[in-house]
Structure 1
Amino acid sequence: MIDLALLRDHPDLVTRSQEARGLSPDTVAAALAADRDRRAAITAFEELRAEQNAHGKKVASAAKEDKPALVAEAKQLSERVKAAQHAATAAEQLAEEALGRIENVIIEGVPAGGEEDFVTLHTHGEPASFDFEPRDHLALGEMLGAIDMERGTKVSGSRFYFLTGIGARLEYALMSLALQRAVDAGFVPMIPPTLVRPEVMRGTGFLGQHADEVYHLDDDDLYLVGTSEVPLAGYHMDEILDLTGGAKRYAGWSTCYRREAGSYGKDTRGIIRVHQFNKLEMFVYTTPDAAEAEHLLLLDMQERMLKDLGLAYRVIDVAAGDLGSSAARKYDIEAWVPTQGAYRELTSTSNCTTYQARRLDVRYRPDGAKTTPVATLNGTLGTTRWIVALLETHQRADGSVVIPEVLRPYVGGIEVAEPIR
């Protein structure tokens, strides 16, 4: 949830943020009203409890002849206390629901609007051009023996696939390179669980507008994660962190799962939009005042990866309505995909400020003062979808693909992937 003090003291700021996201400003007024009702209900309950305690002492010290009347009054008071407690509980529930409709307050400068209203910050490299008709990544993957969609569908259904031969090696290479660079930058490598409890999924904000993207195991009440951001955010849940030595940085390598609900008919060819993939996700816990600098650090790491892979890309400042509930600002890097004649998202990095930490109760103690929520950030450093841009960008007329130099140590020194069919 957002900072209650911010909501109470600066409701206009929260309203502008909601409006920039395309959400109703009425959510702010409703949250403020629910917050007032909750505080009033809790105060009423506490006052009655105090009255009840005082009355109990009076009964204990009363003369024998006065006790029957006082005991009768005590029973009536007890019923009033129970009713006030129920009212306070109900008010707290309503307030929680109302506050849950307030998404993280965006950082100043984030563009308003929806998916198409992003701002391009800069581009890198020239989009690949060819003196032959380029093949798309699936055609190349089939020629190289790298991607088998047909058997993936046979085994698991639509939007599943096998990475085989050089395809599997390329994914291991990408992920291994990403992990090595993360470790070199001081990130602690992690292999997190990919099933999490509801409170962790909810705390990271993935059970809001993205709930239909998440796989749920009903019998166990566990969720399959769509990114290791989720378990890494839950790693320090209910803890007070020592950040005197700087930010805590983790790099989680995991398989990820997404239902892709609502994407019927979109990117049905190949491995752009699939139900299962691997990803190396960076996750950071830091102080709120250091969060924006940390965000730029994550973006820089992503850019250096894509530059070294020889990909043309653009960096965009994602519009407020496309941020998701937890992010206050998000930068996407989109690589050029030649056969689509378009940039397609390869990485995201989000500054979630204190929004997730408040929900998951992750705090630190600044300079011996009382504890306060940390800021959390996340960013992708390698994932299966990158293979799409790699194959298409580095293809040759005969269907072979040049392996970027930085990946060659991870594929046994192979410089060119040759067609096998």
Structure 2
Amino acid sequence: MIDPVLLREQPDVIRRSQAARGSSVELVDQALEADAARRAAITTFEELRAEQNAFGKQVAKAPKDEKAALVAQVQELAGRVKAAQAASTEAEARFAEIAGAIQNPVIDGVPEGGEDDFVTLREVGERPTFDFTPRDHLELGELNGGIDMARGTKVSGSRFYFLRGIGARLELALMNYALDKALAEGFIPLITPTLVRPEIMAGTGFLGQHDDEVYRIEGEDLYLTGTSEVALAGYHSDEILDLEGGALRYAGWSTCYRKEAGSYGRDTRGIIRVHQFNKLEMFVYIKPEDAEAEHLRLLSYQESMLQSLGLSYRVIDTAAGDLGSSAARKYDVEAWVPTQGAYRELTSTSNCTTYQARRLDTRYRTESGKTAPVATLNGTLATTRWLVAILETHQREDGSVVIPEVLRPYLGGLEVAEPIR
């Protein structure tokens, strides 16, 4: 939910944001009209209720012989109050519906445009080169007995897979390494539910424009999450947080599910774009004035991970039209995938400012003693897709793969994953 005060006092800020996203600017004017109608309806209701209370006191003091004559007035006034309350409730719902369709205002400096209009902030690391024809991650995974797509398809359908042997061990090593990094930075680990209620899914901004990406459990009022961000955002819904000691930082480990609707024909080979994967997600509740600095901090943790794994990558500032509805700014970190000759997204981090917190009613107490919405941020610290870049970057001519040094302690000291003979 956008800030109603910002809407009333600086509607042009929201208009510019909607235009930069390629979204409806007309919604802003509709929201302004609905807000004015809402406030007027609330005022009418409150004035009538005050009149009813005052009249009630008058009736209570009236002589017995006069009270009977006042009954009709009491009933008429009660009817007007009831109608005003219904009108106020309807106006509130109308405003929430319209304002809820407006996306989070982007932060100044976010590039305008769509998917291809990002700005590259930096490229880090030397792209791997080979004096042999490199194999892609699926061929390497099959050679090493680490990925079994055929049986994944047999059991569950297309875009499912088994990680087995070194593949399973490598993912667990990666996730545990990321968890240790998160713990060192003060994050509290959580293993989150992967089924959530509709109000939590909607509150994080994953319904509406994202409906076609989400699995819904038929016959149950529950959704499968595509990221533990959803459960982590709902963790403190309807709560007032104590942030005097600093931000609350969580690292959520979960399995994630995505329909990948609209991606047919794209990345169908291997485990780049699949329906189920594992992920360790950072999530932060913080005072709004500290959110932008925290965003850069989360990005630095992600870059540190990729550098320690010996991966070449670039950081991009995602264009407004390619942001989710909740994100006011998002940085993507894309690793170089040798067999594709391109950078591919491995991780991202988003600053959602107070947008999710307003929808989920998550607040903190300010210095004045009042409550205000917190800011929320998220960022992935490790996920299954990272295996793609690790396998391809560190492969050798015989199909073996050199294990990044930082992962070896989690693999019993294993230095090289050898092909199965």
Structure 2 length normalisation: TM-score?
0.97
Q: Is the counterpart of residue 74 in structure 1 residue 80 in structure 2? A: no
Distance in 1 of aligned mates of 2:135 and 2:299: 30
1:350 aligned residue? 350
Secondary structure at 2:42 match in 1: helix
1:18 deviates by 0.9
Distance in 2 of aligned mates of 1:156 and 1:118: 36
1:123 aligned residue? 123
Q: Is the counterpart of residue 263 in structure 1 residue 295 in structure 2? A: no
Distance in 2 of aligned mates of 1:136 and 1:276: 20
1:64 deviates by 4.6
Distance in 2 of aligned mates of 1:341 and 1:290: 38
1:162 aligned residue? 162
1:222 aligned residue? 222
The one-letter amino acid of 1:94's match is R
1:61 deviates by 3.3
Q: Is the counterpart of residue 360 in structure 1 residue 328 in structure 2? A: no
1:104-143 matched pairs, under 5 angstroms = 104-143=104-143
The one-letter amino acid of 1:284's match is V
1:414 aligned residue? 414
Secondary structure at 1:108 match in 2: coil
The one-letter amino acid of 1:151's match is R
Secondary structure at 1:47 match in 2: helix
Structure 1 length normalisation: TM-score?
0.97
1:152 aligned residue? 152
Kept in 2, the 8 Å contact 1:391–1:401? The answer is yes
1:312 aligned residue? 312
Moved more, 76-85 or 302-311: 76-85
Kept in 2, the 8 Å contact 1:208–1:325? The answer is no
Distance in 1 of aligned mates of 2:313 and 2:178: 18
Distance in 1 of aligned mates of 2:173 and 2:39: 55
Q: Is the counterpart of residue 231 in structure 1 residue 242 in structure 2? A: no
Distance in 2 of aligned mates of 1:400 and 1:336: 19
Counting aligned pairs with the same residue, the percent is: 74
Secondary structure at 2:251 match in 1: strand
Kept in 2, the 8 Å contact 1:215–1:223? The answer is yes
Moved more, 48-57 or 147-156: 48-57
Number of matched residues? 421
Distance in 2 of aligned mates of 1:415 and 1:362: 46
Please give the per-residue CA displacement for 1:374-413, whole angstroms capped at 9, x wherever unaligned.
Answer: 1111110000000011111111111111111111111111
1:51 deviates by 2.1
Kept in 2, the 8 Å contact 1:318–1:329? The answer is yes
1:93 aligned residue? 93
Please give the per-residue CA displacement for 1:306-341, whole angstroms capped at 9, x wherever unaligned.
Answer: 011111100000001111011111000000111111
1:23 deviates by 0.9
1:98 deviates by 0.7
The one-letter amino acid of 1:43's match is T
Secondary structure at 2:98 match in 1: helix
1:290 aligned residue? 290
1:59 deviates by 3.1
Distance in 1 of aligned mates of 2:163 and 2:23: 41
1:56 deviates by 2.6
1:65 deviates by 4.8
1:197 deviates by 1.4
Distance in 2 of aligned mates of 1:80 and 1:370: 33
Distance in 1 of aligned mates of 2:57 and 2:297: 62
Distance in 1 of aligned mates of 2:64 and 2:239: 52
1:29-40 matched pairs, under 5 angstroms = 29-40=29-40
1:63 deviates by 4.1
2:279 aligned residue? 279
Secondary structure at 1:113 match in 2: coil
The one-letter amino acid of 1:211's match is D
Distance in 2 of aligned mates of 1:43 and 1:368: 26
The one-letter amino acid of 2:198's match is P
Please tell me the root mean square deviation across aligned C-alpha atoms, in Å.
1.3
Kept in 2, the 8 Å contact 1:151–1:161? The answer is yes
Distance in 2 of aligned mates of 1:280 and 1:390: 17
1:169 deviates by 0.5
Distance in 1 of aligned mates of 2:279 and 2:292: 23
Distance in 1 of aligned mates of 2:150 and 2:37: 58
Distance in 1 of aligned mates of 2:321 and 2:140: 36
Please give the per-residue CA displacement for 1:249-292, whole angstroms capped at 9, x wherever unaligned.
Answer: 11111111111112122211110111110001111111111111
Kept in 2, the 8 Å contact 1:280–1:383? The answer is yes
Moved more, 49-58 or 130-139: 49-58
Please give the per-residue CA displacement for 1:186-235, whole angstroms capped at 9, x wherever unaligned.
Answer: 11111111111112111111113112211112323111111111111111
Moved more, 62-71 or 318-327: 62-71
Distance in 1 of aligned mates of 2:94 and 2:265: 39
5+ long unaligned stretches in structure 1: none
Secondary structure at 1:339 match in 2: coil
1:165-184 matched pairs, under 5 angstroms = 165-184=165-184
1:7 aligned residue? 7
1:50 aligned residue? 50
Distance in 2 of aligned mates of 1:65 and 1:182: 76
